[in-house]
Structure 1
């Protein structure tokens, strides 16, 4: 048997190497978006494979499957180490691909040169999700030969582009990925110093909508007045998606007003860098507005930019909408309701065309399990603070796919991020103290599942 104190000491002693390995991973610009050099994604996969071999995983492979058009998916890493006879198998998930770096001016330091400032390490992927990889690697390093469970590590290479080959990959390598418990290290903690278990995630529906009023541009002075430009009409259409209070106005969507914890408004304002004077949209508890009620955002718009504007009436405008759906909502039904709303609210009879995009299932794990109680124990020991159960407003659609392919597995959604991590944004970072506690918590979880602590 191993004591908690022993594992805490080992984790502290190993953490300098964990940090160094994380920095090496961050230096690889493994952006999976097709506009970027995919050789870096392959290099990232090989680096992860080397780390897993270095912590004693005897079977490590870099694998991919083809998408329907014949193109190969991004490389994933699958490693396995069998446990003692009769022991459970735990699948540890993370992803090694990252978002594009965004605007260079938004970064205080080079996004692909890891830089420590205070207690945080900055760099693209430092939190999302290369810290998740290092949580797994660090825990395995700390436990060594004292695991007590079988372990499979699955590090995906295309999560940031929607995991297009995820389900075919699961089905192709089902036997290698089968597990009793799945630990997904791609979520967040409540705040620095307070761990969390994610028990719900909103789903996703997105689409592109086009508003057309003219066959071609015309002079704004000659025809302005009776003919409104497409940007104005798009604005009027988008405005119908919310009521005067800011709640989503698409009829028929699922919404839940309850949340397990309170999210004080001052903390939300600080976490999201909300400007002074802005009034929070929507009604009900703030946590419910973030986690269990739908939300719609315009995440892109095509219109003439100011620098190239001319005195013409824009004939067409396109926008991309992202709708987060509440747990319990069927994505296909939500998509139908959104499309019907957009078509029914065509302003002044303009032509409205809706093109469907990505759909992702929500996740609801509010039913308590023995594995969740074990995770909460591990968190409490690692942080010295009782964890909270949280929802997350973002989506991790592949979790529902894991549930579908492995219906008997118990899924635990954990993470390294905190409200200051700025995942997907400039100056992304991970709190190093939190990462050390995550490594310890995962080591404790694996040891307890294997009866070693």
Structure 2
């Protein structure tokens, strides 16, 4: 792991000195859990800002988008995290890598680390993802997206919030536990996965090849969504349905429309007809924002190169986010009916393909232990009343819930993921780690 610019080697060694020696761990039972929690919380606050910035600076400098966008994958970022864990003396990780010939390393890394608790049969997991989206239009950024900029409490860079903040909050807690030599009531597990931004192949590979790793009795937190006030706990997600439409007709000269079959106008007609899906599926659920299913045309992928050409093929995509009660099969059937109508009226052929179809998953009950512990921890740390909500965006929480694994999605967020000048708050990183500490120990006094 390269040294951050503003921390020289002696300073970094000073930051790590509390964990490099190997004294025997202390059982939290030797003190009450409130005292143990306060010791860990104090360890988080000590030089926490410098550690947060150092970690973010290292992670920001490593591009980790997937091969679908021409990226190198996550292996170099995984290596940086693993190097940091080894410096803590935590090198006993479980690798669950997924082969992928499209990336230079040949694998998409997934790995888990478990710090044993007194009850080794249960684990509080923090699951974060190593990949980011590409920077997009670099001209829209104030600075280099791969060079961390720190302005006051904010750190700017691609991936800063999605999901470097999730990675860092887990690493901070692991460091604090090692430094205090305390054994928590439950195991603390850190699981780092690849390919969250595209297909969730990382978490699904873990679920398939290591079904013993995550258990229904575990507490699973995914720091990959939230609000600035820390109130929002996401316990359910809309189903994702991406459709690809290929409209086929006959190419011709712009001055001779009678000799062509214009697929662009037919595609426009179909797009407008599909706006009617909002009326066809009007159900609402106030847990979500927006409360209804959404059906939006997004990407136009193929056409013609010249203004004086009538296109004979037009390709476009739709992004649909369905409430859990709306069956994807019914939506696809209605889409096919509208495509058939356009074929009949315009003389084109319309091919509809499923580009991505997320699993249907139950929501995590608000009285599940992971939710109740998280609610209590948020109240203790922030002094606010948390709210159980759903989200239209997709995380791999749905994959976990589909496997019978209750989980909660939460972080204290600026909400700038995927945007130019994506940013993360230093204090949010620290307080997220404090909230998880309170979940782990179920103790601690409210912070003033």
TM-score class normalised by the smaller sequence? 0.7 to 0.9
- In the alignment, the residues of structure 2 paired with residue 177 and residue 241 of structure 1 have an alpha-carbon distance, to the nearest angstrom, of 40
Q: Are the aligned partners of 1:152 and 1:177 in contact in 2 as well (CA < 8 Å)? A: no
SS at match of 1:248: helix
Q: Could you tell me which residue of structure 2 aligns to residue 140 of structure 1?
A: 174
Matched, 1:175 2:212: yes
SS of match in other structure, 1:412: strand
Give unpaired runs (5+ residues) of structure 2.
1-32
Indicate conservation of the 8 Å contact 2:364/2:406, yes or no: no
- The question of 1:19 aligning with 2:53 is answered yes
Deviation at 1:219, TM superposition (A): 1.6
Q: Which residue of 2 aligns with 1:280?
A: none
- 1:21-420 paired onto structure 2 within 5 Å: 21-38=55-72, 41-55=74-88, 57=90, 59-66=92-99, 73-85=107-119, 88-144=122-178, 145-164=182-201, 166-178=203-215, 180-190=217-227, 192-214=228-250, 217-223=251-257, 229-243=262-276, 248-249=278-279, 251=280, 253=281, 256-260=283-287, 287-288=288-289, 290=290, 292-304=291-303, 308-346=305-343, 347-363=345-361, 364-396=363-395, 398-405=396-403, 407=404, 409-419=405-415
CA contact (8 A) 2:397 2:408 kept: no
Aligned mates of 2:424, 2:225 — CA distance in 1: 11
Aligned partner of residue 320 in structure 1, secondary structure: strand
* Post-superposition CA distance 1:363-418 (Å, at most 9, x none): 5224422331211111122223222222211112x32332344x2x4312212433
What CA distance in whole angstroms lies between the structure 1 residues aligned with 2:100 and 2:440?
34
Deviation at residue 138 of structure 1 after TM alignment: 1.2
Q: Name the CA shift for 1:337/1:56 in 2 (closer, same or farther; >3 Å).
A: farther
Alpha carbons of structure 1 residues 176 and 105: separation in structure 2 relative to 1, 3 Å: same
| Alpha-carbon distance, 1:237 to partner | 0.7
* Cα distance, 1:320 vs structure 2: 1.3
Deviation readout 1:98-157 (Å, 9 max, x if unpaired): 111111111111111111234321111101111111111112222332422113221111
Distance in 1 of aligned mates of 2:115 and 2:332:
42
Q: For the aligned residues, what is the CA RMSD?
A: 2.9
TM-score, normalised relative to structure 2? 0.81
Q: How many residues align?
A: 403
Return structure 1 stretches of 4+ with deviation > 6 angstroms.
none
Question: 1:88, 1:179 within 8 Å by CA — same for their partners in 2?
Answer: no
Asked if structure 2 preserves the Cα contact closer than 8 Å seen for 1:49 and 1:62, the reply is no
Alpha-carbon distance change, 104 to 433 in structure 1, aligned in 2, over 3 angstroms: same
Extract unaligned runs of 5+ from structure 1.
261-286
Q: Distance in 2 between matches of 1:78 and 1:335?
A: 38
Please give the alpha-carbon distance, in whole angstroms, between the structure 1 residues aligned to 2:219 and 2:347. Answer: 51
Tell me, what secondary structure is at the counterpart of 2:98? coil
Please state how far the C-alpha of 1:54 moved relative to its aligned partner. Answer: 4.0
Following superposition, the deviation at residue 333 of structure 1 comes to 4.6
Deviation at 1:220, TM superposition (A): 1.6
Partner residue in 1 for 2:3: none
Cα distance 1:194–1:175, how it changes in 2: closer, same or farther (>3 A)?
A: closer
Q: How far is 1:336 from its partner?
A: 4.0
Going from structure 1 to structure 2, the CA distance change for 1:149 and 1:5 (only over 3 Å counts) comes to closer
- Structure 1 pair 392–85 and aligned structure 2 pair: CA distance change class (3 A): closer
**Once the 2 structures are TM-superposed, how far is the Cα of residue 315 of structure 1 from its aligned partner?**
1.5
Higher relative contact order (CA 8 A, sep 6+): 1
